[in-house]
Amino acid sequence: MKVALYSRGIEPEHEVHFKALLQELYLHKATIVVYSGLLTPQLQAALHRYDHDVFSSSDQLDDSIDCLISLGGDGTMLDSAILIRDKGIPLLGINFGRLGFLATMGKEEIKRVVEALTSRGYLIDQRTLVHVDADVPLFADAPFALNEFVLHKRDFSSMIKVHTYLNGEFLNTYWADGVIVATPTGSTGYNLSCNGPIVFPESQSLVITPIAPHNLNVRSIIVPDNNVVSFEVEGRAEDFMCAMDARREIVKMGVQVAIRKEHFSISLLRLNENTFLETLRNKLTWGLDKRN
Protein backbone atom coordinates (compact mmCIF):
# COMPACT_ATOMS: atom_id res chain seq x y z
CA MET A 1 0.00 0.00 0.00
CA LYS A 2 1.31 3.44 -0.96
CA VAL A 3 -0.14 6.46 0.85
CA ALA A 4 0.45 10.18 0.26
CA LEU A 5 0.06 12.65 3.14
CA TYR A 6 -0.94 16.29 2.60
CA SER A 7 -1.58 19.16 4.98
CA ARG A 8 -1.37 22.94 4.99
CA GLY A 9 0.59 22.56 8.21
CA ILE A 10 0.43 20.57 11.45
CA GLU A 11 -0.38 22.61 14.55
CA PRO A 12 1.62 21.72 17.70
CA GLU A 13 -1.43 20.17 19.38
CA HIS A 14 -1.86 17.81 16.39
CA GLU A 15 1.74 16.63 16.12
CA VAL A 16 0.99 13.64 18.36
CA HIS A 17 -1.75 12.53 15.95
CA PHE A 18 0.52 12.99 12.93
CA LYS A 19 3.17 10.83 14.61
CA ALA A 20 0.52 8.22 15.43
CA LEU A 21 -0.49 8.12 11.76
CA LEU A 22 3.12 7.61 10.66
CA GLN A 23 3.49 4.80 13.19
CA GLU A 24 0.32 3.04 12.07
CA LEU A 25 1.31 3.28 8.39
CA TYR A 26 4.74 1.89 9.24
CA LEU A 27 3.24 -1.03 11.21
CA HIS A 28 1.05 -1.86 8.21
CA LYS A 29 4.09 -1.75 5.90
CA ALA A 30 2.79 1.16 3.86
CA THR A 31 5.01 3.21 1.58
CA ILE A 32 4.73 6.84 2.71
CA VAL A 33 4.89 9.89 0.43
CA VAL A 34 4.89 13.21 2.30
CA TYR A 35 4.09 16.71 1.02
CA SER A 36 7.19 18.90 1.09
CA GLY A 37 5.41 21.53 3.17
CA LEU A 38 5.42 19.10 6.09
CA LEU A 39 9.22 18.96 6.21
CA THR A 40 9.41 21.48 9.03
CA PRO A 41 11.99 21.41 11.84
CA GLN A 42 9.25 20.40 14.27
CA LEU A 43 8.34 17.29 12.25
CA GLN A 44 11.76 16.31 10.86
CA ALA A 45 12.59 14.07 13.80
CA ALA A 46 9.32 12.15 13.44
CA LEU A 47 9.72 11.76 9.67
CA HIS A 48 13.35 10.63 9.88
CA ARG A 49 12.25 7.56 11.81
CA TYR A 50 10.48 6.20 8.74
CA ASP A 51 11.45 5.72 5.12
CA HIS A 52 9.47 8.16 3.01
CA ASP A 53 9.41 9.89 -0.33
CA VAL A 54 8.54 13.56 -0.87
CA PHE A 55 6.26 15.29 -3.35
CA SER A 56 5.77 19.02 -3.88
CA SER A 57 3.35 19.23 -6.80
CA SER A 58 0.57 17.37 -8.57
CA ASP A 59 2.97 16.24 -11.30
CA GLN A 60 4.77 14.02 -8.78
CA LEU A 61 1.63 12.03 -7.94
CA ASP A 62 0.62 9.05 -10.07
CA ASP A 63 -1.71 6.05 -10.04
CA SER A 64 0.72 3.99 -7.96
CA ILE A 65 -0.66 5.86 -4.92
CA ASP A 66 -3.54 3.97 -3.31
CA CYS A 67 -4.80 6.90 -1.26
CA LEU A 68 -4.05 10.53 -0.42
CA ILE A 69 -4.80 11.36 3.22
CA SER A 70 -5.67 14.99 3.90
CA LEU A 71 -4.81 16.20 7.41
CA GLY A 72 -6.78 19.31 8.32
CA GLY A 73 -10.26 20.65 7.70
CA ASP A 74 -12.43 20.91 4.62
CA GLY A 75 -10.19 23.62 3.15
CA THR A 76 -7.30 21.17 3.19
CA MET A 77 -9.52 18.64 1.43
CA LEU A 78 -10.21 21.20 -1.31
CA ASP A 79 -6.46 21.75 -1.72
CA SER A 80 -6.02 17.99 -1.98
CA ALA A 81 -8.58 17.78 -4.78
CA ILE A 82 -6.48 20.28 -6.76
CA LEU A 83 -3.42 18.05 -6.27
CA ILE A 84 -5.27 14.90 -7.34
CA ARG A 85 -6.91 16.44 -10.42
CA ASP A 86 -7.93 13.73 -12.89
CA LYS A 87 -5.47 11.10 -11.62
CA GLY A 88 -8.19 8.99 -9.98
CA ILE A 89 -6.34 8.82 -6.63
CA PRO A 90 -8.85 8.21 -3.80
CA LEU A 91 -8.98 10.93 -1.14
CA LEU A 92 -9.63 10.52 2.58
CA GLY A 93 -9.78 13.30 5.17
CA ILE A 94 -8.77 13.12 8.82
CA ASN A 95 -10.24 16.13 10.56
CA PHE A 96 -7.63 18.29 12.28
CA GLY A 97 -9.93 21.28 11.74
CA ARG A 98 -13.40 22.19 12.97
CA LEU A 99 -16.70 21.25 11.31
CA GLY A 100 -15.52 18.82 8.65
CA PHE A 101 -18.24 17.89 6.14
CA LEU A 102 -15.54 16.43 3.86
CA ALA A 103 -12.86 15.49 6.40
CA THR A 104 -15.20 13.22 8.32
CA MET A 105 -12.75 10.95 10.16
CA GLY A 106 -11.74 12.07 13.64
CA LYS A 107 -8.09 12.22 14.70
CA GLU A 108 -8.88 9.66 17.42
CA GLU A 109 -9.82 7.16 14.67
CA ILE A 110 -6.40 6.98 13.00
CA LYS A 111 -5.78 3.33 13.83
CA ARG A 112 -9.18 2.31 12.46
CA VAL A 113 -8.61 4.37 9.31
CA VAL A 114 -5.29 2.69 8.50
CA GLU A 115 -6.73 -0.77 9.21
CA ALA A 116 -9.63 -0.02 6.85
CA LEU A 117 -7.22 1.15 4.13
CA THR A 118 -5.15 -2.01 4.50
CA SER A 119 -8.14 -4.36 4.42
CA ARG A 120 -9.97 -2.23 1.83
CA GLY A 121 -12.88 -1.96 4.23
CA TYR A 122 -14.19 1.27 2.75
CA LEU A 123 -16.55 2.64 0.15
CA ILE A 124 -15.77 5.12 -2.64
CA ASP A 125 -18.07 8.03 -3.44
CA GLN A 126 -17.63 9.82 -6.75
CA ARG A 127 -18.02 13.58 -6.31
CA THR A 128 -18.82 16.01 -9.13
CA LEU A 129 -16.68 19.08 -9.82
CA VAL A 130 -17.47 22.28 -11.71
CA HIS A 131 -15.32 23.74 -14.49
CA VAL A 132 -15.06 27.41 -15.49
CA ASP A 133 -14.65 28.76 -19.04
CA ALA A 134 -14.26 32.45 -19.82
CA ASP A 135 -13.19 34.96 -22.45
CA VAL A 136 -9.87 35.24 -20.58
CA PRO A 137 -7.76 32.54 -18.91
CA LEU A 138 -8.91 31.91 -15.33
CA PHE A 139 -7.34 29.81 -12.57
CA ALA A 140 -4.32 28.76 -14.61
CA ASP A 141 -4.13 25.00 -15.12
CA ALA A 142 -6.74 24.13 -12.45
CA PRO A 143 -10.01 25.75 -13.56
CA PHE A 144 -12.15 23.38 -11.51
CA ALA A 145 -13.60 23.18 -8.01
CA LEU A 146 -15.06 20.51 -5.74
CA ASN A 147 -17.36 22.81 -3.77
CA GLU A 148 -18.43 25.81 -5.79
CA PHE A 149 -17.85 28.61 -8.23
CA VAL A 150 -18.65 32.07 -6.85
CA LEU A 151 -19.14 35.29 -8.78
CA HIS A 152 -19.06 38.27 -6.38
CA LYS A 153 -18.81 42.05 -6.29
CA ARG A 154 -15.54 43.49 -5.02
CA ASP A 155 -15.02 44.83 -1.52
CA PHE A 156 -17.56 47.54 -0.63
CA SER A 157 -18.75 48.30 -4.15
CA SER A 158 -22.47 48.44 -4.88
CA MET A 159 -24.42 45.37 -5.88
CA ILE A 160 -24.01 43.92 -9.35
CA LYS A 161 -26.43 42.72 -11.99
CA VAL A 162 -25.76 39.12 -12.99
CA HIS A 163 -27.55 38.07 -16.19
CA THR A 164 -27.78 34.28 -15.98
CA TYR A 165 -28.42 31.75 -18.76
CA LEU A 166 -28.96 27.98 -18.93
CA ASN A 167 -27.62 26.49 -22.16
CA GLY A 168 -27.88 29.95 -23.70
CA GLU A 169 -31.50 30.52 -22.64
CA PHE A 170 -32.12 33.44 -20.30
CA LEU A 171 -32.90 32.37 -16.72
CA ASN A 172 -32.85 35.51 -14.57
CA THR A 173 -31.03 38.72 -13.75
CA TYR A 174 -29.86 38.70 -10.15
CA TRP A 175 -29.50 42.09 -8.45
CA ALA A 176 -27.24 40.87 -5.67
CA ASP A 177 -23.78 40.77 -4.14
CA GLY A 178 -23.09 37.71 -6.28
CA VAL A 179 -24.12 34.22 -7.35
CA ILE A 180 -22.96 30.75 -6.26
CA VAL A 181 -22.97 27.66 -8.48
CA ALA A 182 -22.48 24.77 -6.05
CA THR A 183 -21.96 21.09 -6.59
CA PRO A 184 -23.87 18.67 -4.35
CA THR A 185 -20.68 18.42 -2.28
CA GLY A 186 -20.56 22.21 -1.99
CA SER A 187 -24.23 22.50 -1.07
CA THR A 188 -23.21 22.22 2.61
CA GLY A 189 -20.66 25.04 2.24
CA TYR A 190 -21.14 28.67 1.20
CA ASN A 191 -24.43 27.70 -0.44
CA LEU A 192 -25.82 26.57 2.92
CA SER A 193 -24.68 29.84 4.55
CA CYS A 194 -26.70 31.74 1.93
CA ASN A 195 -29.86 29.72 2.70
CA GLY A 196 -29.37 27.37 -0.24
CA PRO A 197 -30.67 23.78 -0.07
CA ILE A 198 -28.65 20.73 0.94
CA VAL A 199 -28.36 18.33 -2.01
CA PHE A 200 -27.42 14.66 -1.80
CA PRO A 201 -24.02 13.87 -3.38
CA GLU A 202 -25.45 11.46 -5.95
CA SER A 203 -28.21 13.81 -7.15
CA GLN A 204 -26.45 14.83 -10.42
CA SER A 205 -27.39 18.47 -10.04
CA LEU A 206 -26.03 21.98 -9.56
CA VAL A 207 -27.40 24.61 -7.19
CA ILE A 208 -27.60 28.26 -8.27
CA THR A 209 -27.89 30.51 -5.21
CA PRO A 210 -27.91 34.32 -5.19
CA ILE A 211 -25.89 36.09 -2.48
CA ALA A 212 -27.87 38.80 -0.65
CA PRO A 213 -30.36 39.35 -3.51
CA HIS A 214 -32.34 42.59 -3.60
CA ASN A 215 -35.57 40.70 -4.41
CA LEU A 216 -37.80 38.97 -1.87
CA ASN A 217 -38.99 36.41 -4.43
CA VAL A 218 -35.55 35.25 -5.62
CA ARG A 219 -34.39 31.94 -4.20
CA SER A 220 -32.02 29.08 -5.07
CA ILE A 221 -32.72 26.87 -8.04
CA ILE A 222 -31.53 23.29 -8.60
CA VAL A 223 -30.71 22.32 -12.19
CA PRO A 224 -29.43 19.11 -13.81
CA ASP A 225 -25.64 19.08 -14.01
CA ASN A 226 -25.66 18.62 -17.78
CA ASN A 227 -26.58 22.32 -18.08
CA VAL A 228 -24.06 25.04 -18.89
CA VAL A 229 -24.62 28.05 -16.63
CA SER A 230 -23.31 31.29 -18.15
CA PHE A 231 -23.11 34.83 -16.82
CA GLU A 232 -22.83 38.41 -18.01
CA VAL A 233 -22.08 40.93 -15.26
CA GLU A 234 -22.90 44.63 -15.03
CA GLY A 235 -21.98 47.03 -12.25
CA ARG A 236 -20.60 50.43 -11.33
CA ALA A 237 -17.16 49.03 -10.50
CA GLU A 238 -14.59 48.20 -13.16
CA ASP A 239 -14.26 44.56 -12.15
CA PHE A 240 -15.69 41.74 -10.06
CA MET A 241 -14.36 38.65 -8.33
CA CYS A 242 -14.51 35.00 -9.35
CA ALA A 243 -13.71 32.22 -6.87
CA MET A 244 -13.19 28.48 -7.26
CA ASP A 245 -13.37 27.09 -3.71
CA ALA A 246 -10.68 29.07 -1.82
CA ARG A 247 -8.94 30.52 -4.92
CA ARG A 248 -9.85 33.98 -6.19
CA GLU A 249 -9.22 36.07 -9.29
CA ILE A 250 -10.27 39.59 -10.24
CA VAL A 251 -12.07 39.84 -13.60
CA LYS A 252 -12.90 42.91 -15.68
CA MET A 253 -16.52 43.83 -16.34
CA GLY A 254 -17.67 42.59 -19.72
CA VAL A 255 -15.91 39.22 -19.48
CA GLN A 256 -18.34 36.35 -20.06
CA VAL A 257 -18.09 33.36 -17.73
CA ALA A 258 -19.60 29.88 -18.08
CA ILE A 259 -19.80 26.98 -15.62
CA ARG A 260 -20.22 23.34 -16.54
CA LYS A 261 -19.69 19.94 -15.00
CA GLU A 262 -16.05 18.85 -15.10
CA HIS A 263 -15.30 15.77 -17.21
CA PHE A 264 -13.68 13.94 -14.28
CA SER A 265 -14.72 13.41 -10.67
CA ILE A 266 -13.00 13.04 -7.28
CA SER A 267 -13.10 9.73 -5.39
CA LEU A 268 -13.80 10.24 -1.68
CA LEU A 269 -13.16 7.33 0.67
CA ARG A 270 -15.43 6.67 3.62
CA LEU A 271 -15.75 3.82 6.07
CA ASN A 272 -18.78 1.64 5.56
CA GLU A 273 -20.78 3.07 8.46
CA ASN A 274 -20.16 6.75 7.64
CA THR A 275 -23.17 7.78 5.55
CA PHE A 276 -24.14 11.23 4.29
CA LEU A 277 -27.16 11.26 6.61
CA GLU A 278 -24.95 10.48 9.59
CA THR A 279 -22.65 13.35 8.60
CA LEU A 280 -25.61 15.74 8.44
CA ARG A 281 -26.88 14.63 11.83
CA ASN A 282 -23.46 14.93 13.46
CA LYS A 283 -22.36 18.22 11.89
CA LEU A 284 -25.71 20.04 12.01
CA THR A 285 -26.84 18.47 15.33
CA TRP A 286 -30.08 17.26 13.76
CA GLY A 287 -32.19 15.00 15.97
CA LEU A 288 -30.72 16.38 19.21
CA ASP A 289 -33.80 18.32 20.24
CA LYS A 290 -34.29 17.57 23.96
CA ARG A 291 -38.04 17.27 23.40
CA ASN A 292 -37.50 14.03 21.46
Q: Catalytic residues, which ones?
A: 74
CA dist 133 and 130 (Å) reads: 10
Write the CB contacts of 80 (distance below 8 Å, at least 6 apart in sequence): 6, 68, 70, 91, 93
CA dist 172 and 188 (Å) reads: 24
Nearest to 103 by CA among 205, 18, 194, 7: 7
